[in-house]
Amino acid sequence: MHVKLADESVCIGPPPAAESYLNIPRLLAACEITGADAIHPGYGFLSENARFAEILEEHGITFIGPTSEHIRIMGDKIQAKETAKQLGIPVVPGSDGAITNEVQAQRVAKSIGFPVLVKAAAGGGGRGMKVARTAEDLDIALKTARAEAKAAFGDDSVYLEKYLSHPRHIEIQVFGDGKGNAIHLGERDCSLQRRHQKVLEEAPSPALNAEARDKIGMTVARAMQKIKYRGAGTVEFLYEDGEFYFIEMNTRLQVEHPVTEMITGLDLVLEQIRIAAGHPLSLTQEEVTFSGHAIECRICAENPTTFRPSPGRITYWHPPGGLGVRVDSGAYQGYRIPPNYDSLIGKLIVAGKNRNECLMRLRRCLSEFVIDGIETTIPLFTELVRHPDIANGTYDIHWLERHLGLKG
Ligand code: MV4
């Protein structure tokens, strides 16, 4: 779809990402051929690759995003946490930097109390994490986490954190102009996840009131002002018993950004391009307003119970519509979902004056959405939006896996 809609398109190579979407020389060649003076990295692939941003900076091509320095800082989870702490952002109690030996690990674990979590500095998105519930567990967890981190990221540095057992995952959207101005655009609640893949996201979070939102939002905005952050960013928190704990920062736009757009009325991609072109932020913090509620369902080409990928040709495509209904997708009737990439094929986003209106609208949209020729996760959402825990928003990050596990 993106090739069909573009003014001009250049083939950057065959499906294997290493020969195309991750191939920096080929991407640069496309800029040279077309005379493009800016690249929007989207999400995934090279969107948080500091080296890529650096190479573009060196070639005078605008990277629509933060500086390579900020990408690098936030890409190392230990440095990111240290930076967050210095900027006054609340963090999870844990080791002061990397764990270098087991004696230190046991001492830190004793002081913060078990259970603790061993995390890989080069990890993120759930990779390279091990829970330790006792001192004996800790030695094993350290060795396994280090080995996995070495294998996965070529970097075995790990750190320790207090393990939060029933948190929500709440993230703050922030924008900076790179000159010291930054605003927050509220939060998104992404607690409904399966194997570290977000399934459903909503804004605002059913767990926050205006005071809590403003407090954490302003803390993040001030922090981004201090480092002169440029572009879109998302600061991820765990939220448990009324407290926020910083876990990571994403230096890119996120898949779930539409729910923020629906409640603020701001076009976040336009905002990214404006800032990259040197324009000021479109709004001051005082001009940011939140109205209504929005919920996004990630529609994947997967079996709705086994989650096995289901690529193939879409023989019939009928999306829902109407007031407050948005379908962001590159799919269409006759399109063949390739097996080479992520199984996400579309995002169904509904907006309404409150959460209940969104749920009712979502139920109607899911019943109207027809995608034939492949299996999709639509039936999973049809069931979820009827479940009482979802209807009243009392779910934490473990709810979905517990719910699916119970279903066998
Ligand atoms: C945690 C945690 C509990 N306690 N840190 C998962 C991916 C990465 N964003 C960090 N993650 C977690 N860090 C402490 N100290 C639980 C998780 C976690 C999680 C976090 C957000 C959303 C879904 C999750 C699923 C499993 C574990």
**Residues 160-169: pLDDT tens digits?**
999 999 999 9
% helix / strand / coil in the chain, to the nearest 5? 35, 25, 40
HSE-CB of 315 using CA atoms within 13 angstroms:
4
- State in words which class domain 93-162 has: alpha beta
Residues 6+ apart with CB under 8 A from 335: 1, 313, 314, 317
Give the distance (Å) from ligand 1 centre to CA of residue 236.
Answer: 10
What share of the chain has pLDDT > 90, as a percent?
97
Tell me the β-bridge partners of 206. none
* Ligand 1 atom closest to Cα of residue 164: 4
* Ligand 1 atom closest to Cα of residue 245: 15
Residue 123 has a pLDDT of: 87
Name residue 79's amino acid.
Q
Query: What tokens appear for 46 in the block?
Result: 């090279």
CATH 3.30.1490.20 maps onto the chain at 93-162
The finding on whether 92 has its CB within 6 A of some atom of ligand 1 is yes
**Most ligand 1 atoms within 8 A of CB, residue of 168, 169, 249 to mutate:** 169
Q: Does domain 168-404 have CATH number 3.20.20.120?
A: no
The finding on whether 169 has its CB within 6 A of some atom of ligand 1 is yes
The finding on whether 248 has its CB within 6 A of some atom of ligand 1 is yes
Residue 138 has a pLDDT of: 97
Report the pLDDT averaged over residues 392-398. Answer: 97
Between CA 88 and CA 151 the distance in angstroms is: 34
| pLDDT range class, residue 125, cuts 50, 70, 90 | confident
The finding on whether 385 has its CB within 6 A of some atom of ligand 1 is no
Give the distance (Å) from ligand 1 centre to CA of residue 126.
Answer: 6
Q: What are the tens digits of pLDDT across the range 187-232?
A: 999 999 999 999 999 999 999 999 999 999 999 999 999 999 999 9
Residue 124 has a pLDDT of: 76
Long-range Cβ pairs for the range 7-15 (8 Å, 24+): 8/34, 10/34, 15/338, 15/340, 15/341
Q: What are the tens digits of pLDDT across the range 270-323?
A: 999 999 999 999 999 999 999 999 999 999 999 999 999 999 999 999 999 999
Quick one: three-class SS letters along 32-101? Answer: HHHCCCEECCCCCCCCCCHHHHHHHHHCCCEECCCCHHHHHHHHCHHHHHHHHHHCCCCECCECCCCCCC
Residue nearest to atom 23 of ligand 1 (CA): 397
Please state the separation of Cα 349 from the chain's center in Å: 16
The finding on whether 165 has its CB within 6 A of some atom of ligand 1 is no
Report the pLDDT averaged over residues 2-6. Answer: 94
Residue 408 has a pLDDT of: 53
Assess contact for 105 and 68: CB atoms under 8 A: no
Taking the chain, what is the end-to-end CA distance rounded to the nearest angstrom?
37
**Most ligand 1 atoms within 8 A of CB, residue of 119, 129, 148, 159 to mutate:** 129
Residue nearest to atom 11 of ligand 1 (CA): 126
Quote the mean pLDDT of the chain.
97
Report the pLDDT averaged over residues 245-269. Answer: 98
Residue 350 has a pLDDT of: 99
The finding on whether 126 has its CB within 6 A of some atom of ligand 1 is yes
- Model confidence pTM above 0.95: yes
Q: Which are the catalytic amino acids?
A: 252
Name residue 27's amino acid.
L
Token pair 């989207």 in the structure block, residue: 42
> Which range among 78-87, 143-152, 327-336, 394-403 shows the weakest confidence by mean pLDDT?
143-152
- Which of 158, 148, 239 has the alpha carbon at shortest distance from 191? 239
Assess contact for 331 and 318: CB atoms under 8 A: no
